[in-house]
């Protein structure tokens, strides 16, 4: 005997998946705290301390979440830059030339960033982790 196919109910609200829009859980009128990718690390640290956060999502200019700034990501970059003249707190949390990168930097890219004193373009270091 053939059983009819079950049709999904149209009156059931679906929850977003684990990587779905987090804003669905926020009370109406509230916005999540995010940082634009060009935010200086010193400002990001100040916002984390003021709000008691250990990490904050990093967004592109279009508002898309592209990674997160955390104490761990900042600490790693600060350690990488110990021998350079670059202050990690002066760096943007993400540089524009990293727009397509995912995951940790290659050793070659890390050396290039450490050797570059330019904080406003070119091979500028960054201190965020991408998703």
- Residue 45 is assigned to a structural domain of this protein: yes
- According to DSSP, the β-strands at 129-130 and 55-59 are unpaired
Residue with tokens 């400002």: 43
Residue with tokens 């200086």: 40
CB-CB contact of 60 with 66 (8 Å)? yes
pLDDT at 50: 94
Residue with tokens 């960054």: 126
- Residue 3 is assigned to a structural domain of this protein: no
Q: What is the CATH number of the domain that holds 53?
A: 3.90.1280.20
- Residue 71 is assigned to a structural domain of this protein: yes
pLDDT in tens, the chain (131 residues): 555 555 544 554 555 544 456 666 777 777 788 999 999 999 999 999 999 999 999 988 888 888 889 999 888 888 888 888 888 888 888 744 443 333 344 455 455 444 443 333 333 345 555 54
Residues in Cβ contact with 28 at an 8 Å cutoff, skipping those fewer than 6 apart:
none
Domains identified in the chain, total number: 1
pTM: 0.53
CB-CB contact of 103 with 112 (8 Å)? no
Q: DSSP assignment of 89-117, as one string?
A: GGSBSS-GGGTT--SSPPHHHHHHHHH--
- Residue 104 is assigned to a structural domain of this protein: yes
- Residue 53 is assigned to a structural domain of this protein: yes
CB-CB contact of 33 with 53 (8 Å)? yes
- Residue 27 is assigned to a structural domain of this protein: no
Looking only at Cα atoms, what is the longest distance across the chain? 78
CA distance 11 to 34: 33
- Residue 90 is assigned to a structural domain of this protein: yes
pLDDT at 11: 52
- Residue 118 is assigned to a structural domain of this protein: yes
Range of the domain at 122: 32-130
């Amino acid at each position: 005997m053939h059983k009819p196919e079950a049709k999904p109910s149209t009156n059931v609200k679906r929850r977003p998946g684990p990587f779905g829009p987090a804003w669905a859980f926020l009370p109406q009128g509230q916005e999540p705290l995010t940082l634009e990718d060009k935010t200086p690390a010193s400002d990001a640290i100040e916002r984390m301390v003021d709000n008691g956060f250990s990490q904050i999502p990093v967004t592109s200019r279009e508002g898309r979440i592209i990674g997160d700034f955390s104490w761990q990501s900042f600490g790693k970059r600060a350690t990488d830059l110990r021998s350079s003249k670059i202050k990690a707190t002066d760096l943007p949390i993400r540089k524009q030339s990293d727009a397509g990168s995912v995951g940790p930097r290659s050793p070659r890219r890390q050396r290039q960033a450490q050797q570059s004193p330019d904080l406003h373009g070119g091979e500028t270091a960054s201190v965020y982790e991408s998703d």
